[in-house]
Every structure is written in structure tokens, then in C-alpha cells.
Structure 1
């Protein structure tokens, strides 16, 4: 599992996917979510705007697992 640090209270899922280098654009993130290839805390997620907080775990099919960490 790879740790990804954020400097804010939360990050939206589509922004997180770009930060973790899983996708390069918001459109790519949308397609990935529509194909149900992303799980947040073990549950399939389709909402780009889902807020992720420190401690949340994101699994991307074909990319691996990531954990949200706070820089604070």
C-alpha cells in the first residue's frame, strides 16, 4: 500500500486519482469510476466528488492500493 499525503482536511476522489498518478486528466478519472474500477474503504465508488479524509483507503484496479495521509 502506497501512502499519499494531503495538506488539506479532505481531497476529492478525482483529484486524489490524479495526485496518486493513476490518471492524468479528470476525464480519465471519470471513465475509471464509471467502469467501477475504484474502491474506497472496500466499497465500489462511482462519485468523482467523494471526499476522502486521512485514513481512507483507495484501491484502483491495475494500479494498486493507496492510503490517504494528512501532512499535519
Structure 2
């Protein structure tokens, strides 16, 4: 995927090492404005699930992890 490669993620091994949240954040830092569907899709690819299943089942956990990763506080 072009966005991942532009963020310096060029292999499945790199993607697995980073995980979905860090990979999504790397895409943002690379200057893209990805929708959350990318986060669901990355997690789906890593866990061998359809992105819609991820969005339904893991949405809150992933959003909280992203918020924590980015250093946002409420």
C-alpha cells in the first residue's frame, strides 16, 4: 500500500513489528490524512479478519490505544 510505503513501512515484518496503531500513526506523520478505516484494515490484516469485523469488535480498544500512543490526555 502506497501510504504504508511512504511512511517507511515496506514489509509485512515491519508492519507486524509496529502493530496497527503505530503504523497508522506513522502514516499520519508521513503527511497523509487517513480515515479510521485504515486503522481497522491494518488490524484486520494483522489478525486475519475483515476490517468491518475489526471496526465492530475492536473499535474502542484501538481508538483508546491510538489516543494513548499519540499522547492525548482527557
The structure with the largest alpha-carbon Rg is: 2
Fold agreement, TM-score > 0.5: no
TM-score, normalised via structure 1 length: 0.33
TM-score, normalised via structure 2 length: 0.33
Larger % of helix: which?
Answer: 2
Higher RCO, 1 vs 2 (CA within 8 Å, ≥6 residues apart): 1
Larger % of strand: which?
Answer: 1
